[in-house]
Structure 1
Amino acid sequence: MTRVVSIFLPDLPTDRIRRVDPDIPAEQAVAVIAKSGSKRWVSAADEAARKAGVRVGMPATKAQALFQGLKLIDADHEADALALERITLWALSQYSPIVALDAPDGIVMDTEGADHLQGGEEKMLSGIANRFLSKGLKTRVAIADTWGAAHACARSINRETVIVPRGETMKAVERLPITRLRLPDKIVSDLRTLGFHTVGELSATPRAPLALRFGPEIGRRLDQMFGRTPEPIDPVRSPDFVEVTKAFAEPIGAAETINKYVGRLVVQLVAELQRRGLGVRRTDLIVEKVDGTRQAIRAGTAKPTRDVAWLTKLFRDRTEKIEPGFGIERLTLAAVMSEPLEETQKASSLVDGETTDITPLIDIIGNRGQRLYRMAPVFSDVPERSVQRIAAMADDIETSWTHAWRRPVRLLSHPELVDVIALMPDHPPVSVTWRGKRRKVKKADGPERIFGEWWERSSEWVAVRDYFVIEDEGGERLWVFRSGDGVDGETGSHKWFMHGIFA
């Protein structure tokens, strides 16, 4: 069953302005002014301006008089539209093969079959909101069974993320205002005059009188919202994409036929990539059915490739998920992420000493929804800051760890508070209670003193940690530290923490 995500960008004009001019202070209130002849009014206002009482539709002179520190900037609808298009293309490369504009202030995407790559719907939605926020874009994100329901919930429910469970569209939208049905303003105004205010009231009314007075538009929007009529999402495309298509005079549906034509499309795509000197990193197969619906399969690779056999295998391993329905009328293969790739020649050798390429294994596991990464060193004395995650096939990091003392094979993501019996200031623990288990210390080595990074954080100007390697009576070796030097309270709390486990 299709699941649709709607990403609403409520402050797109002001967010775009701040991204263009990062020197605007965060506390500065910003309003966007639209013009029509001699009239000037507020077309957008950021959160600081709204808190000061500025509202969309308010005359510009009134807004300026209301708040003297308000920064007024002329509207640029063309720049807003281009920014939304760029954001949509970025979302296409990150989240789903089927992503489209939901102008003027949103994005819509079909994530059926793609949410597992993000860890499920809840993690996917919170991840979307956080990534957009990190780029200076405020969002409200909703997922539902239909475009209409997701669109309405994202714009009506004042939460960062909204998940409408499968099959519960009516319950989620019945109390939402009729303005969320994406009807023309004139129809909405007339419906309000007749006493209609919510989607539920309108959907409970006999269809014939409404169609007689307003035409088919109300019924069409209600049917789309409740999934009775399909509303295909036409994926956005960039002229930079390498794309090949096969249309069928007679619809196809057999798995063998689909695989045959997918293989031919891969050959055509690779030929075009070779002509341009590119290798593909992310490829989408768009399946268009005779009933107007679409289905998509995405295949990614750890590094750029033009290997026909391998790309064909990646898709054929997943074509059993295609549901042809009444038949497929078009297949499209698009390279949505490509990079320059030079021709290389494998060196022949009489000795079997070539390095095994694990890229195929990484591709297979990655396309099953698993996140693969490597750990790499970071130049930092603080243990939890001395490691970072990098892509599985990223170039090696030249930085290396240089420590006189051994480090544990497993470092806890966060130091865990433990109860310790120890003499201050330099003696190792006598016993440690960690996760409810008391351990008597048999052997210990230390302390290794690690100083705070005062050049990074002023709060660590005098901070220190004293680390000990301890071995309990069961033979398990652990890495513990005391926060502070054991004498001066300003150097730390003098509490003890568990931080790692040795092999």
Structure 2
Amino acid sequence: MARVVSLFLPTWSTDRFRRRAGDAAPPAETPFVLVGREGNRRAVVALDAAAYAAGLRIGMAATKAQVLVKDLILYDANPAEDAEALERLAVWALRFSPIVAPDPPNGLVIEATGADHLHGGEATMLYCLVGRLAMSGVAARAAVADTWGAAHALARYVARASTVASPGHGPTVLADLPLESLRIQGPTAAALRTLGFDRVGDLLAQPRAPLTLRFGPELGRRIDQALGDLAEPIEPVRPPDLIEVSRAFAEPIGAAETIARYIEKLVVQLCERLEERGLGARRLDLICRRVDNDMQAVQVGMAMPVRDVKRLTRLLCDKIETIAPGFGIEMMTLAATVAEPFGHKQAVSSLIEETVADVSDLVDTLMNRVGERAIYRFAPVASDVPERSVCRVPAMSADTGAGWPGHWPRPSRLLPRPEPVETVALLPDHPPVSFTWRGIRRRVRRADGPERVFGEWWTRDAELVAVRDYFRIEDDAGERYWLYRAGDGEDSSTGSHRWFVHGVFG
């Protein structure tokens, strides 16, 4: 089933203006609008959140806006630059899916079928998409649904940062939305309201013929597109420097074996192009255009730059079952949407140096099956606070040479968060005599400590005097635990003096 993401940028023009202006941009709390010429008058064509909260609206005369809002900041709009920037944003979004297109004037449409698993699922993909734009100073809302029309409506008329409609949702997700969510013209929506139609659900219950007779075919076309009864192809954006190869077929193909054979031929051609530029592929997009103008896309990622024909062919062929050829595929296009310099490795004799096993092929296979975010390794961080001394990094990232402190042993298993325990212990420096954890009382046979860990005062003021005293504990059954007391055992300002289990030794 097709899944489409609609990305809505409600303040795209003003956000882009602020990013370009840098420190000279108007403050975020100051109402700010962009104006353009509509006929013989100057009107508001874009506004920021502060101007919208002040009661200004798009289409309002610039002179009226200045009267309504004191000290309003106005600049001339530049729709051509906004469109060019939206095109560049669509190229950036190719990292999420191979089929991305601008949805003017303030949005993108993304074909997410078969690509969401690389980003941890649809909800995580929307979270990353909206979050990355927010960190860049661009407000965004996103929705995923079965059709472009439904996703477009949910992104713009549901007041949430991200909305995920369940697959096969049907018309129910649109029923309570306003008429404008169908992408119909303002006069048409106004005329429908005059007849008593307020919501999309009111239209869906009506016979189509009278509506078409009165309002023309556009209304019915938009309803059919939103419901998925009428196809709405997405023409993907292609950057000029993209490395890609394509193959058109005189007769449409559909058998899995035939698709696999031509995938290998395209990979060979693409690797030749990559070799000419000294690059390796980090992400490949295979787009299959069917005879009905529908496009099926496959996206695979690699942990490191790869130019190996067999590996790339196998990764792509593993996804053939996700391609629905329909009545046949008339064109296949393979593109390296992410390519990086390819480093050559010098062959070293085993008499001089032991060869290191290359697990990148295994990592690539797992990554494309369970998602890129699910494959990682732990790396040390320069921090004495245990829960801050580790982070997740990509599985094949370079080793920085950093290590964990070696003067005190660390447990093989660190709990996600410290768990409180009941203890019997003498203050201030003695280990527990016994402790109760998860309903089981354990007597302590041996203990070593304390290891004092101080708070990181530069992180927050509350840690200025905070300390923890860690002990390595062994119970009667031979199990070893990592316990700590919050505080130094004397001064209550250093901690609560409660005990916690923070890890288990293997």
1:2 corresponds to which residue? 2
Q: Decide whether aligned partners of structure 1 residues 351 and 447 sit closer, same or farther in structure 2, where only a CA change above 3 A counts.
A: closer
Q: Decide whether aligned partners of structure 1 residues 340 and 408 sit closer, same or farther in structure 2, where only a CA change above 3 A counts.
A: same
Q: Is the deviation greater in 207-216 or in 4-13? A: 207-216
Looking at structure 2, the residues matched to 427 and 49 of structure 1 have their Cα atoms a distance apart, in angstroms, of: 63
Given residue 334 of structure 2, which amino acid in structure 1 is its aligned partner?
A: L
1:388 corresponds to which residue? 391
Looking at structure 1, the residues matched to 438 and 64 of structure 2 have their Cα atoms a distance apart, in angstroms, of: 62
Looking at structure 1, the residues matched to 424 and 74 of structure 2 have their Cα atoms a distance apart, in angstroms, of: 63
Shift of 1:343: 4.6
Looking at structure 1, the residues matched to 492 and 75 of structure 2 have their Cα atoms a distance apart, in angstroms, of: 52
1:131-280 correspondence to structure 2 within 5 Å: 131-280=132-281
User: What is the RMSD of the two structures over their aligned residues, measured on CA atoms?
Assistant: 2.4
Given residue 90 of structure 1, which amino acid in structure 2 is its aligned partner?
A: W
Matched, 1:473 2:476: yes
Secondary structure, counterpart of 1:368 in structure 2: helix
For structure 1, which runs of at least 5 residues remain unmatched after alignment?
none
Shift of 1:404: 1.3
Looking at structure 2, the residues matched to 157 and 123 of structure 1 have their Cα atoms a distance apart, in angstroms, of: 18
Matched, 1:379 2:377: no
Matched, 1:46 2:48: yes
Contact 2:35 2:74 in 1 (8 A): no
Q: Decide whether aligned partners of structure 1 residues 415 and 59 sit closer, same or farther in structure 2, where only a CA change above 3 A counts.
A: farther
Contact 1:149 1:169 in 2 (8 A): no
Matched, 1:489 2:492: yes
Looking at structure 2, the residues matched to 460 and 350 of structure 1 have their Cα atoms a distance apart, in angstroms, of: 53
Looking at structure 2, the residues matched to 25 and 486 of structure 1 have their Cα atoms a distance apart, in angstroms, of: 53
Secondary structure, counterpart of 1:7 in structure 2: strand
Given residue 416 of structure 1, which amino acid in structure 2 is its aligned partner?
A: E
Q: Decide whether aligned partners of structure 1 residues 165 and 347 sit closer, same or farther in structure 2, where only a CA change above 3 A counts.
A: same
Q: Decide whether aligned partners of structure 1 residues 49 and 438 sit closer, same or farther in structure 2, where only a CA change above 3 A counts.
A: farther
For structure 2, which runs of at least 5 residues remain unmatched after alignment?
none
Secondary structure, counterpart of 1:234 in structure 2: coil
Shift of 1:351: 8.4
Shift of 1:345: 4.9
- Residues 48-88 of structure 1: CA deviation (Å, up to 9, x unaligned): 34334444344444444544465444333233323322332
Shift of 1:349: 5.5
Q: Decide whether aligned partners of structure 1 residues 434 and 11 sit closer, same or farther in structure 2, where only a CA change above 3 A counts.
A: farther
Looking at structure 1, the residues matched to 56 and 499 of structure 2 have their Cα atoms a distance apart, in angstroms, of: 52
1:75 corresponds to which residue? 77
Shift of 1:337: 0.3
2:450 corresponds to which residue? 447
Shift of 1:22: 4.9
Secondary structure, counterpart of 1:89 in structure 2: helix
Given residue 78 of structure 1, which amino acid in structure 2 is its aligned partner?
A: A
1:16 corresponds to which residue? 16
- Residues 176-205 of structure 1: CA deviation (Å, up to 9, x unaligned): 222111223343344344443322222333
Shift of 1:273: 1.2
Looking at structure 2, the residues matched to 63 and 433 of structure 1 have their Cα atoms a distance apart, in angstroms, of: 67
Looking at structure 1, the residues matched to 40 and 229 of structure 2 have their Cα atoms a distance apart, in angstroms, of: 46
Q: Decide whether aligned partners of structure 1 residues 343 and 59 sit closer, same or farther in structure 2, where only a CA change above 3 A counts.
A: same
Given residue 339 of structure 2, which amino acid in structure 1 is its aligned partner?
A: S
Looking at structure 1, the residues matched to 58 and 423 of structure 2 have their Cα atoms a distance apart, in angstroms, of: 60
Q: Is the deviation greater in 357-366 or in 317-326? A: 317-326
Matched, 1:404 2:407: yes
- Residues 320-345 of structure 1: CA deviation (Å, up to 9, x unaligned): 33221111111010110001224555
Looking at structure 1, the residues matched to 85 and 182 of structure 2 have their Cα atoms a distance apart, in angstroms, of: 25
Q: 1:425 aligns with which of 423, 428, 447?
A: 428
1:331-342 correspondence to structure 2 within 5 Å: 331-342=332-343
Looking at structure 2, the residues matched to 420 and 64 of structure 1 have their Cα atoms a distance apart, in angstroms, of: 68
Q: Decide whether aligned partners of structure 1 residues 46 and 474 sit closer, same or farther in structure 2, where only a CA change above 3 A counts.
A: farther
Q: Decide whether aligned partners of structure 1 residues 206 and 278 sit closer, same or farther in structure 2, where only a CA change above 3 A counts.
A: same
Shift of 1:361: 0.5
1:319 corresponds to which residue? 320
Contact 2:14 2:34 in 1 (8 A): no
Secondary structure, counterpart of 1:360 in structure 2: helix
Given residue 409 of structure 1, which amino acid in structure 2 is its aligned partner?
A: S
* Aligned residues between the structures: 502
Looking at structure 1, the residues matched to 63 and 385 of structure 2 have their Cα atoms a distance apart, in angstroms, of: 55
Matched, 1:434 2:432: no
Q: 2:94 aligns with which of 92, 95, 100?
A: 92
Looking at structure 1, the residues matched to 495 and 28 of structure 2 have their Cα atoms a distance apart, in angstroms, of: 34
Q: Is the deviation greater in 104-113 or in 25-34? A: 25-34
Secondary structure, counterpart of 2:229 in structure 1: coil
Shift of 1:169: 2.8
Shift of 1:352: 9.5
Secondary structure, counterpart of 2:197 in structure 1: coil
- Residues 142-188 of structure 1: CA deviation (Å, up to 9, x unaligned): 12111101111111111222222223231111222221112233433
Contact 1:33 1:40 in 2 (8 A): no
Shift of 1:25: 8.1
Q: Is the deviation greater in 196-205 or in 153-162? A: 196-205
Contact 1:30 1:73 in 2 (8 A): no
2:58 corresponds to which residue? 56
Given residue 152 of structure 2, which amino acid in structure 1 is its aligned partner?
A: H
Secondary structure, counterpart of 1:17 in structure 2: helix
Looking at structure 2, the residues matched to 473 and 39 of structure 1 have their Cα atoms a distance apart, in angstroms, of: 86
- Residues 400-432 of structure 1: CA deviation (Å, up to 9, x unaligned): 223411111122232233333322222212232
Normalised TM-score (structure 1): 0.92
Looking at structure 2, the residues matched to 18 and 486 of structure 1 have their Cα atoms a distance apart, in angstroms, of: 53
Normalised TM-score (structure 2): 0.92
